[in-house]
Structure 1
């Protein structure tokens, strides 16, 4: 069997769907599994998802939800915390915090000219030089060329719509009803925690695999891709 690169979108504590995805994919020891961040919060069992990620030796990336928890732990400043963070904070053990502290913000696959990241990149700046705050949180680009969230910048343009590559970017972070595939990027956060799907993008055959969420754990469903 040829080595596969298996990228998986935002899990958000949905451990049963994560287990179902692994069962469907049947990864071998030769495969590389890359989790695109936001493994925690909102869903039923963030600690279990982290345990599973560690067990399968996944390459996991830092998402904005992990970054928010780490910022709180380092500073004690709770102004950025969300209501659903409390259950996660209560469940994490020391080994989970060590794991979160070790997460990189990007994973480069130079052999296929591809970069994996949680949120994305600000076009016009070398991707390697962008801060964790940008690459974990960017959704849109505003009229001044600054990164922002869809909810805070309704007239912003999706960063991926402006990204002309290379490299090709595989990302999560923006929950949508469907996969968002463009020439130089693919967004695979299909809102599992909101009752959508957990999505994997499998290379080199460029195949998508999806697992339907067992229920809606958070919110009322994803927004469409357009702004």
Structure 2
């Protein structure tokens, strides 16, 4: 009997909520955890989140926050950094950099015809061939067909609204008050760090489990 596959949305340093959710999930030996990127920044303790991820042998995908930190770590070019990155950068330990450095962009479960990713994909291009910049940052698609953030193109359609599969895509990155379920995708970033909830999606049973944020950590 194979275990469950459990995807968890953006944790953003919320180690207590991550711990609460893990307790609720009551993990069995064969269960596999897939963290959808952005383990770090904004919340109370990024290092404790990485410790928990490592302890539970999670597959942690690369998010845009990890991508920025890695870019600065390699280049020391401050243009890569945002305000909340600086605090995290100063606290990350050598083992954390090693962990972040080996994060894959995607995780594919062929038997379930499902791909896990942080941000999403541009429709019309094979998902395996899209850049780290695209798949970690995309939220909407502008009139020129370019991947953009919601804030930069507020009237543009969400990539998921234009994604007609296959595969089915489970993603984070775009915080919403509720999960965003469409025929070929499911968004599970429910804005824990902003006072929302931390969401897990369990396969093959297709069940959602959530814990409420203990407080609002980030505006």
What is the distance in 2 between the residues matched to 1:210 and 1:90?
A: 31
Aligned to 1:189: 189
Aligned to 2:6: 6
Aligned to 2:44: 44
Aligned to 2:122: 122
Aligned to 1:67: 67
Structure 1: gaps of 5 or more residues: 220-227
Aligned to 1:213: 213
What is the distance in 1 between the residues matched to 2:76 and 2:2?
A: 46
Aligned to 2:22: 22
What is the distance in 1 between the residues matched to 2:172 and 2:109?
A: 17
Question: Structure 1 residue 85: deviation in Å?
Answer: 1.1
Aligned to 1:137: 137
Residues 164-199 of structure 1: per-residue CA shift (max 9 Å, x gap): 000000000000000000000000000000000000
State how 1:148-159 maps to structure 2 within 5 Å: 148-159=148-159
What is the distance in 2 between the residues matched to 1:80 and 1:94?
A: 20
For the residue of structure 2 that corresponds to 1:13, the secondary structure is coil
Is 1:170 the counterpart of 2:150? The answer is no
Aligned to 1:223: none
Question: Structure 1 residue 90: deviation in Å?
Answer: 1.4
Count of aligned pairs: 219
| TM-score when normalising by structure 1 | 0.95
For the residue of structure 2 that corresponds to 1:84, the secondary structure is helix
* Bigger fraction of residues in helix: 2
Question: Structure 1 residue 88: deviation in Å?
Answer: 0.6
Question: Structure 1 residue 2: deviation in Å?
Answer: 5.0
Residues 62-100 of structure 1: per-residue CA shift (max 9 Å, x gap): 000000000001111111311111221111000000000
Structure 2: gaps of 5 or more residues: none
Output the aligned Cα RMSD.
Answer: 0.8
